[in-house]
Structure 1
Amino acid sequence: RFYSIERPRKSKKLPEVLSIMEVQSLLAEINNIKHRCIVGLLYSSGLRRSEVLALRPEDIDSKRMLVRVNQGKGKKDRYTILSATLLKELRNYYKRYQPRTFLFESPNGKAYSPTSVVNIVSRAALRAGIKRRVTSYMLRHSFATHLLDKGTDLRKIQVLLGHNSSKTTEIYTHVAENSFRDIDDLLS
């Protein structure tokens, strides 16, 4: 007798994305090398906050220019790309801080706090003059969207993000600029 009751529709929101200029200005506002490396990995590798905080020094593969994500969401291992620019920063960071267990450690040697990452991103966005609320997940969305804008194949983006289904990754086609470039202006 409950079969006739309709379920409410789940809302489908588009991901919020920063422009490349906004990401650059956000990174420029971060002076602390550890913080810059954290935000750099969130954006340039498309990592989730929890994945960045779980990284160990040995997960950075500088020979293959890859970042290994161990037991990410869904308990899956995967590789994603490592920026050459960020690798230089990571090397400087490593020499300075010499992390033992986790790549990013708190002063007591434990994994860095998720709340600290939230504060790093929001404060940098504020200093960069970005008016809207910026989250670490927006950097992941921006990673996928900017790759799509540059012509990267959707399947490759799916692998980098660790999505099981291509449907999950396809959401970025709705916000990518190149999705709208070839459409004629009706008023011109």
Structure 2
Amino acid sequence: MIWKAKLIKHNNLDRIAVEFEKDQELIRKIRLIGDARWSAQKKLWHIPDTFENRERFKIIQQEDTLPSNDGIEQIKIFIQWLSSKRYSQNTIKTYSAGLRSFFIFFRKKNISEITNDDVLYFNTEYILKNNFSASYQNQITSAVKLYFKTIRETKIEIEKIHRPKTPKILPNVLSKEEVKSILNAHSNIKHKMMLSLIYSCGLRRSELLNLKPLDIDSKRNIVIIRQSKGKKDRITPLSPKILDLLRIYYKEYKPTNFLFEGHQKGFRYSERSLEEVLKKSIKLANINKPVTLHWLRHSYATHLLESGTDLRYIQELLGHNSSRTTEIYTHVSTKNLQHIKSPFDDL
């Protein structure tokens, strides 16, 4: 056996860890599995914990790590329903994994007999006892509520299932000087181009990697972001400086299918490689902060707000459904704070 597979928890998600001696062919094969990721901290590859992946790596499925037969069947029906409603693959994976954890906990109880008291017991004895996060609890709550609302009649009163109080965390924002040093750290035009486009258009990681050459409309100076989060298209302004960089990049790399492609022509650049690009930029820029790609998006929104852009426009540019999501940037903008004089200065 050249590899070893085992069940793990990673960021509160059920995953399968796959360990093996470094082998480029095996790495290539595991990358073909949907949502396969490398953990630099744990020094292993991990993939979604699905029935297919368990079968693929011949993981022995112990009784206490599986729902009941009825639970397994209900998860399949739930996945079919989510698919028919055209939920995204990420949402389907998250919801089905959450429902699976719930059904494993109650594997010895008939699903139709589950009550609101059982949900409360689950939160106390599984979520809180294992010190899982409020966001993970919220994911499972969403899955359970949707399942019992749409698939199965039960004794549960859906409207009485409460959600956890989630901490209000401010987005991390870089100064313009820090952003500039990160973007200018790379001499490689492709690496510089990817990070610059994320910041200049406020893109999510997946939005950047899914861009096609035709999504850059140089005549209208816009970028078209297709079928992003919530299956929505949107447009964002294209900076003339970015357009000049794009032309240089295009002449050198001549992308075909995706705007940013990996070593294989026609295949999109990998998420892991993009994260490595950022990591190298941070190191070269001598920035001692745990910067992520999403920090660039947060910085874009905050800098727009500080330059006087209306919050409603920022909401549209970011693709937020609710203005409340966008309003969080008002809490990190320093534009008005700079005019406030501390009483300490008068001492």
Higher strand share: 2
Residues 104/182 of structure 1: CA separation in 2 closer, same or farther (3 Å cut): same
Query: Which amino acid is 1:160 matched to?
Result: L
On the 8 A contact 1:173/1:179 being kept in 2, the answer is no
Number of the residue aligned with 2:278: 121
Provide TM-score, normalisation by structure 1: 0.95
Instruction: Report deviation, 1:181.
Output: 2.9
Name the SS of the counterpart of 2:249 in structure 1: helix
CA distance in 2, matches of 1:8, 1:54: 34
CA distance in 2, matches of 1:158, 1:136: 19
Name the SS of the counterpart of 1:119 in structure 2: helix
Number of the residue aligned with 2:319: 162
Number of the residue aligned with 2:259: 103
Number of the residue aligned with 2:74: none
Q: Name which one, 1 or 2, has greater alpha-carbon Rg.
A: 2
**Residues 66-105 of structure 1 mapped to structure 2, 5 A cutoff:** 66-105=222-261
Q: Deviations over 1:107-150 (max 9, x none)?
A: 21200000111111111011101101111100000000000011
Name the SS of the counterpart of 1:68 in structure 2: strand
Number of the residue aligned with 1:29: 185
Query: Which amino acid is 1:59 matched to?
Result: D
CA distance in 2, matches of 1:69, 1:13: 27
Aligned length: 188
On the 8 A contact 1:44/1:83 being kept in 2, the answer is yes
The counterpart of 1:145, out of the listed 297, 302, 308, is 302
**Residues 33-48 of structure 1 mapped to structure 2, 5 A cutoff:** 33-48=189-204
Instruction: Report deviation, 1:7.
Output: 5.2
What is the percent sequence identity of the aligned residues?
52
Any unmatched runs of 5+ in structure 1?
Answer: none
CA distance in 2, matches of 1:94, 1:146: 28
Number of the residue aligned with 1:13: 169
Query: Is residue 286 of structure 2 the alignment partner of residue 133 of structure 1?
Result: no
Q: Deviations over 1:60-118 (max 9, x none)?
A: 11121110000111111000121111111100111111111000011212000001111
CA distance in 2, matches of 1:7, 1:59: 39
CA distance in 2, matches of 1:7, 1:107: 45
CA distance in 2, matches of 1:5, 1:67: 41
CA distance in 1, matches of 2:316, 2:302: 14
Name the SS of the counterpart of 1:15 in structure 2: coil
CA distance in 1, matches of 2:197, 2:293: 10
Q: Deviations over 1:29-80 (max 9, x none)?
A: 1111011110011100000010000000010111211100001111110001
On the 8 A contact 1:67/1:81 being kept in 2, the answer is yes
Instruction: Report deviation, 1:159.
Output: 0.4
CA distance in 2, matches of 1:56, 1:154: 28
Instruction: Report deviation, 1:5.
Output: 9.2
Instruction: Report deviation, 1:180.
Output: 1.4
Instruction: Report deviation, 1:183.
Output: 2.8
Query: Which amino acid is 1:163 matched to?
Result: H
